[in-house]
Chains A and B, each alone.
Chain A
Amino acid sequence: MIPNLADLAVQGAQMALVLAAAPLVTGLVRKVKARLMRRRGPPLLQIYRDLARLLRKEAVVADNASWLFRAVPFLVFAATWVAAALVPTFATGLTFSWSADLIAIVALLGSARFFLALAGMDVGTSFGGIGASREVMIATIAEPAFIMTVFTLALVAGSTQLSTVAAAMATGEVGLRVSLGLALIALVMVAVAENGRVPVDNPATHLELTMVHEAMVLEYSGRHLAMIELAASLKLTLYLSLVACVFVPWGLAGPGSGALAHLIGLAAWAGKLAVAAVLLGLFETSVAKMRVFRVPDFLGAALMLGLLATLLLFVSRSL
């Protein structure tokens, strides 16, 4: 388990790469949505400029904000980044993947959400409260649905280690299964909800009564806001990479494979992310946002699908 230098390099490259690529993915989704609405849309790199601009600005903090308010952006960013670093993007043999498994990744994202919801309530405004309250309501159904998906994957692959799961999926022995299909649908629904995308939440809105995530972070500005935006981008990339590495694991470089395999893996990952971003943009433009109290029905369906997939595997290992 003592890591050697090459593995460390792969792990480090992966962490840096995810961080660097995350805003681009968000930018691509925005661009696709804009083009589908026959707008030109901001350039792909605009989001990097926005982040740089936010970082340079002074942070305006409410008079009665506590230390928690100022610590949370960094905590949220760190928890999301660590979770993202554990998801195989272009190579499976991640050095530190044994330090936390898929259940821990779910819980790390849960930690980020916990602190963000607390920060929403710190200043004591009604918008912070509404955002935090709705966010935790969504999470109380999305998280068990996610856990059920994790159970399904773990039962199919015989492990909760994401690297092992991805490697098992890539072998082709798993094949097409009903349970995996159900788990894929459930996971996508969870991803849509957790990232605050249409139809659950609208990342572009600032209309008070329809927003969830944006209401929670309403009081943030400057570098704090930049960290939160970056964490949101990271989370989107994490979910897309997760779906990609489990359900379309082709092209992933195995542990100890050469530079060429890693290059292929990189290209494959970029391709998968691009396809996923385009699909997400397409999906978001084609549906309308739901009322808040329709969301539990939507996510309840995801929970039931996840439970059904797990049940199928308890009934028969080959379903």
Chain B
Amino acid sequence: MNTKKPIYVRPLDLKQGRVEMAHGAGGRAMAQLIDELFATAFDNPFLAQGNDGALLPPANGRLVLSCDAHVVSPLFFAGGDIGCLSVHGTLNDVAVMGAQPLYLAASFILEEGFPLADLKRIVESMAHAAREAGVPIVTGDTKVVERGKGDGVFITTTGVGVAREGITLSGDLARPGDKVLLSGTIGDHGMAIMSQREGLAFDAPIVSDTAALHGLVAAMLDCGADLHVLRDPTRGGLATTLNEIAQQSRAGISLTEAAIPVNPVVAAACEFLGLDPLYVANEGKLIAICAERDAERLLSVMHAHPLGGRAAIIGEVVEDAHGFVQMTTRLGGRRVVDWLTGEQLPRIC
């Protein structure tokens, strides 16, 4: 990108400027936005090819492809923003397939009038997240919609990876007797977002857990544990993801409430709003289901990784034709942990 010619009369005004319809119209304005913002931030040889698609070297193994659309309000939150979130979200979807992510593609839908300074922050955050993860953003697209027809920025990312040889992970492979592991505390991302919602706002030192998990996954695969399922419990939280697995595997899951880590401040915020952290979104956690004999070993591998410091064995897979997820409560009783009904709403009166 260093050989780029200065073909534009004036550089983009990244301080005061705003997104205009022309930035998505395919003309010179769009080329300038791509050159001065996206290509500069994402800078890599594949993107520098400057073509409609990226020409990539042959991959060695089974390909994993995953795609995720990101919409979040507010766009900037404690611990991250829509930019890094859109990188982590897709990397994690590829990683929990037991794969090493190799490349990302990103597509932006921008709303007319959106401040270029904010866009710059988001794009730089994406670039930083991708660089940290060691996965380049090799191709992309930008469209602009009229003011009022978008929510600032929507970002869709697609990730390609290569599955580890001999590893097959799938939601239908949980077997009675398997142990259920969780990589850390739940509810941090969802409550970080909730704390900034209009009408519900409160002050709390809650930081989104958004993070790329493929390093942790690689360490877990390296240890040779007999892994059956990996999933990242995002929307709908831990409860929803476990119900998906139980249904796919036609088995029950039995949890121990006291074993599930929750940050005290997240628990407190949930109490305030009548929310259950089991249903609150995460963006940097994974659930692992593995053969019982390997559970302790897998747990110590997770503990040794920076993103698994608070990992815990939270339950086990049991025979249950109904596919219920059940939990032994802190009090010693039992309850069903059901699917989420609609969006989780505060319950206060």
A binds B: no
Q: Which residues of B contact A (CB under 8 A)?
A: none
